[in-house]
Structures are given as C-alpha cells and as structure tokens.
A and B are shown apart, each in its own frame.
Chain A
Amino acid sequence: MTLWLMAGLLFTPLAWAVLTLLTDFTRGRLVTWGGILVQVLVSLGLWLVVSRDGGFYYALGGWQAPLGIELRVDGLAVTFVLLTAVVASACGFHAGVYIDPDKPWHRYFWPLFWFLWSGLNAVWLGGDLFNLYVGLELISLSAVGLVALGGKAGALRASLRYLLAALLGSLAYLLGVALIYGQFGTLSIAGIVFWLEEHPVPAGSSLALALMVAGLALKTALFPLHRWLPPAHGIAKSPVSALLSALVVKASFYIAARLWLELGEPLGNLAAAQLVGLLGSAAVVWGSWLACRQMELKQVVAYSSVAQIGYLFLLFPLTYSVSESVSLQAQQGITLQVISHALAKAAMFLAAGNLVLSTGSRRVDALTGVSRFLPFSLFSFALAGVSLMSLPPSGGFAAKWLLLQASLGSGQWWWVLVLLVGGLLSAVYVFRICRASFLESPETNQFYHPHRSLEIIPMILALLSLGLGLVSAEVLSVMALPFEEEGSP
C-alpha cells in the first residue's frame, strides 16, 4: 500500500512532466487533469496512512541511506504534501482556462507545472541535505521558466533576476552542505543530530548553518533580500503567481525551519535568532507599507507576500532556548501561517488575475466600478484578505493567536507589536483595493466577463483559508503524531 502511494506521489509528477512535453496545450490540459486526480488521491491516501499509523522513514527503491534516497514521511510533511495537492490542482484547473492556448510557447506550461510539483514533493519528504538541494533547484528552475512564459521583455527581465537570486541562494546553501559534510561526514539531518549527541560541537559548524540559512532566506525573499520577488510574482501569469507565492517560497522556508529546529540549539546562538526575527519583522512592516503604496494590483499582492513571509521567520527567535510548550506553540502557529497564507494568497492572486482580465488593466485605479461586474471575484479577494488581516475565524487568526501566545510565553513581547502592526497594515491594503472597486465612474462600462469556473476556484481557496481556523486543531493533530525512529541512520 505504502509502496504504491509513494510511487504515485513521486513518480506521477515526473511522468506527467514528460507526457505533457509531447502534447500541445489543449491535450496537455486533459492529460494534466488525469494527473491531478492521481496526485490528489495519492496525497490524501498518504495523509490518511500517516494520521492512522504515525510517521516513518521510507527508503526509495529499497536502497538504504548513504547510497539511496531516504524519505522522511512525518505528519508535517504529509500535511504539506496535501496542501500542495490542493493549491496546485486549483492553480492547474485555473490555468487550463486562464492561459491562452493559441500562443505556441504556452504548451510548456504543463511540463514546468509538473516539474515544479515533483520538486515540491521531493522537498517536503527529503531527509538529507543534498537531495533537498536537488529538489530546491528543480523548483527554482521550473519556477523561473514559468515566470518567463509571459514572453515579453519585462517577464524575461523579472525571470532573469529571479534566476540569479535563486542560483546565488542555492550556492550558499550548497556551500553550507559541503562544510557540514566535511565536518560531520553525513548528509542526513537525523545523522547530524545523532553525531552531535555524542561529540562536542566542532568549531566553525555555525558558519555552515549560517550559510545554509542565509541562502534559503534569499530564496524565501526575506527582507532585505526580497527585491527579486515582487517583479517576478507581479509580472507572471496569475496561476503562476499563485503557485509561486503559495508554494515555492514555502519550500525554501520549510528547509530553513527544519534545519533550525534540529540544529539551531547546538549550532545557533541567541543573537542570530533575534536577528532573523528582526529581519522578519522588518519584512512585515516594510512589505505591508510598500503594498499600500503600489499602483498595480498584482504588485500589491506580491508585496503582501513579502510581508506575510516575514511572519514565518518569527519561528527562529520563538523556538530558540524557550520551554518545550512555547516552542511547540510557535511551530504550530508557523505551520498554520504557512497553510493559511498558501490558501489565501493563491485565492488572492487568482482573483486578482480575474480582475485584471476583466478590466484589461493592471492598475489599481482601473478597478473603478468592477464591483458591479465581478462581485464574486472581488468577494473572494476580500475573503482571502480577511485571512491575511488575521480576523477570526480565519486560519490567519489561529496562526497569529498561537504566535502571540508563544511571544508572551517566552517573554519576547516585542514580537506582539509586529503582529499588531502587520495586521493593521494588511487591512489598509486590502481595503484600498476594495475601495477602488466600489468607486463609480460614468465612462468605464467596458468589462470583459471571465469564464465562470475562473471565479469559482479562488472562492473555494478563500473559503478553505477562512475555514482553516475552525479545524486548526484537527490539522495540527497530524503534526504531533509519533514517528518511528528505527531505520534512522
């Protein structure tokens, strides 16, 4: 049973990437729908298996650790696998209708989409540092390709910027990996932890951790390394922006978070933890402020991503030398923030894409009067905004509530201010878009009406993000499941 689930999870995206390479856009869409069905079923199956039996290590193809690829299937990983399945299939269905099938280069959307998906699954499940690197590169290269699909000079420029930033980030990460291997003689995260239990911390290994985290922070667009993100996410086609903001930046963060949780205590220090937290807070404030000032709709959403990513990095100070319960609260809060932001931001980008399609302009002030023509998309946008503003009962509220408790529980009250200011500023930029849409103007009555299914998909995502707060306990319960330690290297 597990064999088939794992095979389905890792093999189908790669197989579908090759299959869709051979077809044109329309046929590729049909093939993709089949693949999405398989992926959703397999992800759901794996989630059910783990929530029933707990996590386990899985050696791919029966090859054991140093030689083969060992996958770590735990509650958090399957939760993200399932999240990927939900968001990516929504974006896949949306793209099938949204993207113009007549432009010949658009047929490469499907192969890139599937390579992206396989890279994401590899990162969620990867257990050793080098395979995580390969997964990250697969994600980055296909994401860059997806941004470049826009085809115009601006899109290529943004994708080149993105590519250079991503490559620099991966090299910094890989240099850290090289140092770690030189130091510990193993690449598996569990193996390093095991080694550290028996030996004193070697000098210079903090540098390796710092390099890896810095590289990953660049790939996650942490302030002040965020400047590649808004052009890339803003100019890409809306389903692509949704995939990038919702999932791609989370992959590099996920690796950084796992490194920190496993190796932060022995190799990190308090100053570094506080510094990362401070940069995250700066991202929240600066990103939200810039989001309020953007003239283009999708740039607003992209800068809002910079801000929301900032919250994630509060994980570093809130889990360093604090009590077990506070650390757990912080981890749960961050997990919920990742999930709710992924759902809300995907909904927001897809809805923004509909609004852009309808008004024929990317500018915020062109939205005048769109509330009468596209109320459904605008409503999805606002509902997703509710989650970003972290109002109850949304997933964003539950996430920030947990983070608030963790900040107070660890005596680091200053992060509470960041949570409050960030919430207020996000309300400002969401309301700004809504206000622009409700203004009436006599001369603008030319609206194109997008296909009905384009409007339903963001609504579903926004509702999921909103409802996440109600079922957060169930979602988080999978994370705390026992994990079989045998088979650990």
Chain B
Amino acid sequence: MTAPLLYALAGAMLCGIGLFGLLWLSHLLRKLLAFNIMGSGVFLVMVGLPQHQGGPDPVPQALVLTGIVVAIAATALAVVLIRRYYHLSGMTSLEGDPASREGGAE
C-alpha cells in the first residue's frame, strides 16, 4: 500500500466516524465535534492523496489552510447558536421539542 492511499483511507475512515456521529448523536456539541472530525478527515484526504513527483503537493496545503479557516468560522457560529439555543430553551438537542411540530403534517 502506497503512502497516498494510506492517507486517503485514513481520511475516509475519519469521515465515516464523523458522519456516524453527526447523524447518530443527539447532543448538539457532540454533533459539532463530529463535524470537526469529519472535516479533519476531508483535509487529510485532500493533503494526503495528491502527490507531486513523489513529494507533497503545495497547492492542497494552501487549500486546506483556507478550509480550516472556514471550518473554524462555522464552528464558532455553531457554538454561538447552540449556547443561545440552550439559554432560551434549556435544551441541548434538536429532538423532542413540541415546537418541532409547528412544521405541520410531516
């Protein structure tokens, strides 16, 4: 097994773990952590998979840097929203609120 493939597979596994957490866990902070794990997996695939003449390729490293900034911004926004939501409703998950019924028949 070559090194790029190893990185890619590890990244894919992290993505899988993150996806599982994002869909399965109900606590919002856990969901957010799962999103971050998934993001790390994607970044690992992005940096690990492309190789430039046997060495690392500089372009994806620059991309991942941008990706990390975006992920931090998203995480910060999510934390603010989760905190505010907790203050207003006293709940840490999106399930089991009568307000969810206001969407109607679905």
Flag if B15 contacts A175 (CB, 8 Å). yes
Q: What interface size band does chain B fall in? A: 35 or more
Flag if B22 contacts A178 (CB, 8 Å). no
Q: Cα distance A312–B20 when bound, in Å? A: 30
Flag if A137 contacts B105 (CB, 8 Å). no
Q: Which of A133, A178, A227 makes the CB contact (< 8 A) with B45?
A: A178
B17 on interface, CB distance cutoff 8 Å: no
In the complex where A130-B63, A182-B8 touch, is A163 in contact with B81 (Cβ < 8 A)? yes
Q: Cα distance A137–B73 when bound, in Å? A: 10
A217-246 interface (Cβ within 8 A of B): 227, 230-231, 234
**Contact segment of A31-39, A151-159, A337-345:** A151-159
B100 on interface, CB distance cutoff 8 Å: yes
Q: Which of B39, B45, B74 makes the CB contact (< 8 A) with A179?
A: B45
The 8 A CB mask of B30-71 against A (1 = contact, 0 = none) is: 010001001101100110011000000101100100110010
Q: Cα distance A147–B57 when bound, in Å? A: 39
**What's the nearest-Cβ distance from chain B to residue A464, in Å?**
30
Q: Cα distance A269–B34 when bound, in Å? A: 32
A148-190 interface (Cβ within 8 A of B): 148, 152-154, 156-157, 159-161, 163-164, 167-168, 171, 174-175, 177-179, 181-182, 185, 187
**Contact segment of A289-297, A352-360, A431-439, A455-463:** A289-297
Flag if B89 contacts A227 (CB, 8 Å). no
B85 on interface, CB distance cutoff 8 Å: yes
In the complex, which residues of chain B have a beta carbon less than 8 angstroms from the beta carbon of A144?
Answer: 77, 81
In the complex, which residues of chain B have a beta carbon less than 8 angstroms from the beta carbon of A133?
Answer: 67, 70
Flag if A181 contacts B77 (CB, 8 Å). no
Nearest residue, chain B, Cβ from A291: B104
In the complex, which residues of chain A have a beta carbon less than 8 angstroms from the beta carbon of B11?
Answer: 178
In the complex where A178-B46, A182-B45 touch, is A130 in contact with B66 (Cβ < 8 A)? yes
Nearest residue, chain B, Cβ from A160: B81
B3 on interface, CB distance cutoff 8 Å: no
B88 on interface, CB distance cutoff 8 Å: yes
In the complex, which residues of chain A have a beta carbon less than 8 angstroms from the beta carbon of B105?
Answer: 290, 293-294
Flag if A290 contacts B77 (CB, 8 Å). no
In the complex where A154-B102, A156-B81 touch, is A178 in contact with B94 (Cβ < 8 A)? no
Q: Cα distance A109–B28 when bound, in Å? A: 25
B1 on interface, CB distance cutoff 8 Å: no
The 8 A CB mask of B4-31 against A (1 = contact, 0 = none) is: 1000100100010011001000001001
In the complex, which residues of chain A have a beta carbon less than 8 angstroms from the beta carbon of B99?
Answer: 153-154, 157
Q: Cα distance A227–B41 when bound, in Å? A: 26
Flag if B77 contacts A175 (CB, 8 Å). no
Nearest residue, chain A, Cβ from B46: A178
Q: Cα distance A294–B97 when bound, in Å? A: 19
In the complex, which residues of chain B have a beta carbon less than 8 angstroms from the beta carbon of A230?
Answer: 103, 106
In the complex where A66-B59, A167-B74 touch, is A134 in contact with B66 (Cβ < 8 A)? yes
Q: Which of B18, B28, B73, B85 makes the CB contact (< 8 A) with A153?
A: B85
In the complex, which residues of chain B have a beta carbon less than 8 angstroms from the beta carbon of A280?
Answer: none
Flag if A185 contacts B46 (CB, 8 Å). no
**What's the nearest-Cβ distance from chain B to residue A302, in Å?**
9
Q: Cα distance A182–B12 when bound, in Å? A: 14
Flag if A163 contacts B78 (CB, 8 Å). yes
**Residue from A174, A177, A294, A296 having most chain B Cβ neighbours under 10 A:** A174
In the complex, which residues of chain A have a beta carbon less than 8 angstroms from the beta carbon of B60?
Answer: 178, 181
In the complex, which residues of chain B have a beta carbon less than 8 angstroms from the beta carbon of A181?
Answer: 46, 49-50, 59-60, 63
Q: Cα distance A181–B50 when bound, in Å? A: 7
**What's the nearest-Cβ distance from chain A to residue B12, in Å?**
8
The 7 closest A-B pairs by CB, nearest first: A182-B49, A178-B46, A153-B88, A153-B89, A156-B85, A178-B45, A294-B104
Binding site for A on B (CB under 8 A): 4, 8, 11, 15, 18-19, 22, 28, 31, 35, 38-39, 41-42, 45-46, 49-50, 57, 59-60, 63, 66-67, 70, 73-74, 77-78, 81-82, 84-85, 88-89, 94, 97, 99-100, 102-106
Task: Other than A156-B88, A174-B46, give 6 A-B pairs with Cβ distance below 8 A.
Answer: A156-B89, A163-B77, A164-B78, A179-B49, A182-B4, A299-B103
